[in-house]
Amino acid sequence: MKRRTFVKSAAAAATAPAAAFAAPGSVLGANDRIRAAVLGVNGRGQSHMYGLQPLKNVEVTTFVDPDLSIAAKRAGEFEAKHGHRPKLVQDLREALNDKDIDVVTIATPNHWHTLAAIWACQAGKDVYVEKPATHVYNEGLSLIAAARKYNRIVQHGVQLRSSEAIREAVGKLRDGAIGDVYMGRVNIFKWRPPLEAAPDENPPNDLDYNLWVGPGKWRAYSRRHVHYNWHWTWDFGNGEIGNQGIHETDMLQWGLGVTFPTQIASMGGKYLWDDHRETPEALSTTMKFGNENKLAEVSVRFWHSNHETRSANGNLFYGSDGYMAISGYTKWEIFRGRKPELVESGEAPTRHYENFIKAVRSRKTEDQNGPVETAHYAAGLAHLGNIAFQRGKTLDFDPRAQQFTNDERANKMLGKTYRKGFEAPSPDKV
């Protein structure tokens, strides 16, 4: 039988020190207007601006982007729809020093996510940060430390966390709807065409390219990676497992009830296109969670693919009595029997921006559906998988020590070297 269901209860720094930023404003009440700045408005930032503006007593006041031509275009589009034109800012530090801004949302390239979020925490702003919240594993530890030290709400941009249906699905997994859950499978199947070649050249006049690179490794400007194809360059992105895949790794650890694996093996490569993409087109990663005696498989495929969860991207959870399919961010189905039959399902929308604003007003992290710790868990799984792929060997990991136990080179890859002036701090120095 198929039914539409809704959950009734939740399933279970930096180069600039804090003093360099504006002091935190007063605590917001239920009727106070929350003023938001969107950092990065080329891609996901559009979802942020149009997701926040309709909420009660919320106003998107500022667009921040190192490319002012993009910021101006988005401001015109936004004004046509909502009747007011946001202020345009090129350097995020100017927005962080603006005492009239209460929250910032971060939709920059991956290599900027953690440093921008830490700076925002230091400036007394609450933060909604796109997935992955971190570019390398160790940044997750610093981000958690900053959120706690400065008492900030830091919400991870994984929308499925605020889908009533998906929260219900996790509750059903906990209640034994498919028996003892022993394995999860992640499917990340995105249609990704070959990349077009482009030369190194001078950046456009409206782009502050030095600021765009920020904490990343310096590379000459090229349309090979600005503005979207940085995803496939290790210095700026994390490949597909760290792009679309973060939604699914987040669902994986949430559904299985795990944090970090004790063993990781990963294999893949480039099989389709002779282009400049550095990250793998196909990737198969296996993770063993020894402390919980559970297994996970993560599969990345480009181009033509069957959809194993009735969606190109999703999760499968296997139990002793059946399996559950999570499709996208809003739908779940349970199948049972030797010849599996659909026996139960649920679907509902996601309200992740509303959940963020609720926590900003209440100042209670327990109100968050995507708290900062889950950002580290979800991104961390992708980082560990990428490191195992790059090392070409099975790696043993100690979740307590947050270190590999059998490869010192892999341990060095948990962090990275930052450009002067854009150093992300260690946890004890946020």
Burial 307-326 (b: 16+ CB within 10 A, else e): ebbebbbbbbbbbeebbbbb
Half-sphere exposure of 394 toward its Cβ, with a 13 Å CA cutoff? Answer: 6
Q: Is residue 25 over pLDDT 80?
A: no
Q: Is residue 306 over pLDDT 50?
A: yes
User: pLDDT digit string (tens) for 247-295?
Assistant: 999 999 999 999 999 999 999 999 999 999 999 999 999 999 998 999 9
E runs forming strands in 191-305? 263-269, 282-289, 294-302
With CA atoms as reference, report the closest residue to 123 among 15, 16, 24.
24
* Tokens 């603006």 belong to residue: 98
- Rounded Cα gap, residues 372 and 102, in angstroms: 18
Q: Is residue 44 over pLDDT 80?
A: yes
Q: Considering the chain, what is the average pLDDT of its residues?
A: 93
**Omega within 30 of 0 (cis) for the link into 132:** yes
Contact (Cβ atoms closer than 8 angstroms) between residue 379 and residue 371: no
Q: Is residue 40 over pLDDT 90?
A: yes
- Rounded Cα gap, residues 415 and 383, in angstroms: 10
From the centroid of its chain, how far is CA 323?
26
Q: Is residue 39 over pLDDT 50?
A: yes
User: How does strand 282-289 pair with strand 58-64?
Assistant: unpaired
The whole-number pLDDT of residue 64 equals 98
The whole-number pLDDT of residue 30 equals 67
User: How does strand 126-130 pair with strand 103-106?
Assistant: parallel
**Structure-token pair, residue 207:** 């782009």
- Rounded Cα gap, residues 307 and 312, in angstroms: 5
pLDDT band at 156 (very low <50, low <70, confident <90, very high): very high
Contact (Cβ atoms closer than 8 angstroms) between residue 194 and residue 361: no
Contact (Cβ atoms closer than 8 angstroms) between residue 321 and residue 178: yes
pLDDT band at 244 (very low <50, low <70, confident <90, very high): very high
E runs forming strands in 54-175? 58-64, 87-89, 103-106, 126-130, 154-157
Would you give the DSSP letter of residue 19? Answer: G
What is each CA distance from 171 to 133, 175, 363, in whole angstroms? 25, 6, 25
**Structure-token pair, residue 162:** 């605020």
| Domains and their CATH numbers in the chain | 18-160+356-363 (3.40.50.720)
Contact (Cβ atoms closer than 8 angstroms) between residue 350 and residue 18: no
Average pLDDT score over residue span 200-213: 98
The whole-number pLDDT of residue 66 equals 98
The whole-number pLDDT of residue 23 equals 54
pLDDT band at 28 (very low <50, low <70, confident <90, very high): confident
With CA atoms as reference, report the closest residue to 221 among 235, 210, 232.
210
Residue 327: strand, helix, or coil: strand
**Structure-token pair, residue 298:** 């993560």
